[in-house]
Amino acid sequence: MASMNMVQAINSALALEMERDPSMVMLGEDIGVDGGVFRVTEGLQKRFGPARVIDTPLAEGGIIGMSIGMAINGLRPVAEIQFMGFSYPAMNQLISHASRMRNRTRSRLTVPMVMRMPYGAGVKALEHHSESTEALFVHIPGLKVVVPSTPLEAKGLLTASIRDPDPVIFLEPTRSYRMLKEEVPDGEYVIPLGKARMVQEGKDLTLIGWGAMMVQIQKAVDEAAKKGISCEVIDMRTLSPMDSATVVESVKRTGRAIVVQEAPKTCGVGAEIVARINEKALLSLQAPVARVAGPDIIVPLPKGEDYYYISPERILAEIERTVSF
């Protein structure tokens, strides 16, 4: 075991999988010589060579198109997009080909590829550098969408994503890259996709979140505990496929739920979770299911970001309101 931040944990997972599987390649803008914008791939081109760690032109559609072709022809590509806000030129390739190749060819061809990218605000970056549009990808059948919340989670979930036989969108919370360190196994570590994580058990309320919001949720829950409110906390881990069974069983026990998402409120993943709770646990509810979400606006530039970003205080206020309903 070693103490790692999320950048180091992801680098470790990539290196181990490159060693284990000679068919794995990585490609993206500046990921080779420079080690990527956030240095996540630092040292990997020197270790595995430029034929397997490939610097590409600034062309996101080309990166994903090449990855699809590589995957169909027997390689296992891991593509890096520098920021989520740069991924939209690749949507045609993802929707029209990556997500549906298995269905189109009746499983004769598959696309075992990963598209990695940092997402989310909280670091006061420029326009297109703070997006949280995970709902766009969750809405596309044929794509899996994975969001780690800690370094340990990042290593285990990325390893599973690389080994998955179908395309995976792997969203790395920018704010969490170097926020915290924890003990991470030096060797192989795998967390199966599609299963949510019970962070802590409680009896008054269920808090549901993913990615960088888990830190904000935990701060709010700790404050709530000082007021005598016991919260159960669930980290979704995989947004598609969604482990709604774990959420529903929790809400049936606590009778109350709050979904916290960094993304804009309208038509977000939180709305889907609320709908599933209402479908399966409505008669157990003692209060309406609440959402704490970003406003329906473009992420503000640095001076306005603190007014936009979800704070523990805002989550705590919703906890108190829901419990006292």
- Which residues are identified as catalytic? 129
- CB count within 10 Å of CB 121 equals 23
Nearest to 218 by CA among 206, 233, 204, 202: 233
Helices assigned H by DSSP within the chain: 6-20, 44-48, 60-72, 91-96, 101-104, 134-138, 151-163, 213-226, 244-254, 269-281, 302-308, 312-323
DSSP at 141: T
Nearest to 68 by CA among 108, 88, 90, 97: 97
- Give CA 74 to chain center in angstroms: 26
Please tell me whether residue 136 adopts helix, strand or coil conformation: helix
Q: Is the omega angle on the peptide bond into residue 241 within 30 degrees of 0, that is, cis?
A: yes
CA atoms of 203 and 212, how far apart (whole Å): 24
CA atoms of 323 and 52, how far apart (whole Å): 53
DSSP at 237: -
CA atoms of 185 and 215, how far apart (whole Å): 22
User: Taking a C-beta distance cutoff of 8 angstroms, is the pair 93, 65 a contact?
Assistant: yes
Nearest to 285 by CA among 293, 294, 276: 276
